[in-house]
Amino acid sequence: MREPSKEWLHVRREGKKAIDELSRYIKEILTQKGYLCVAPGIEDCFEEIIDIWLDINRSLDNSDFGSNWSQRHVAYVAGLGTFGLSKTLITKKGVAGTFTSLITNMEHEPTKRDYQGIYDYCSMCGACISNCPPKSDHF
């Protein structure tokens, strides 16, 4: 089984820091404007198990991943994409995205979704399975 590259791990860790800072900034702006706002990814109640990202000498194991909030599920509800066989979110641009979410009472006009079903952007071809280093362990 292949481990993620050190470069990918670095971007994953440093990218999360940048996204967390952006979430704090947007939350602060919305709060200053009088809106209620929660950014689940940075709140104390958010729990994310990411031990594997910090220690690349361990083998991948499904028990190493988990959280009590799913950014990709929020992205799906928000109309940004649908799921694939690999459980990733497929957007119009592909699957290599990272998401954050802010829940607020600010009202805005919703964007119409161009899909109806949870798997509409997935062709069910199985290419994600053969391209995934852990292969069938996650499917």
Q: What is the pLDDT of residues 72-119, one digit of tens each?
A: 899 998 899 999 987 889 998 888 778 899 999 999 898 888 889 999
Per the domain annotation, does 49 fall within a domain?
A: yes
- Separation CA 104–CA 58 (nearest Å): 39
- Span 45-52, average pLDDT: 67
Higher pLDDT, 70 or 54: 70
Q: pTM for this one?
A: 0.73
Average pLDDT in the 13-26 region?
A: 93
Helix extents (H) in 50-131: 51-54, 71-77, 127-131
From the list 110, 113, 4, the residue with the least C-alpha distance to 64 is 4
Is a pLDDT exceeding 50 seen at residue 62? no
Instruction: Centre a 10 Å sphere on the Cβ of residue 91 and count the other Cβ atoms it contains.
Output: 16
**Is the pLDDT assigned to residue 55 strictly greater than 50?**
no
Among the residue ranges 9-23, 69-83, 95-109, 120-134, the one predicted with the least confidence is: 120-134
Structural domain of residue 90, as residue ranges?
6-138
Cα-based angle 101, 104, 106 (whole degrees, multiple of 5):
125
Residue 1 lies in a domain: no
Q: Does residue 127 belong to any structural domain of this protein?
A: yes
Measured distance CA(83)–CA(95) in Å, rounded: 9
* pLDDT above 50 (res 14): yes
Domain tally for the chain?
Answer: 1
Confidence band of 60 (pLDDT split at 50, 70, 90): very low
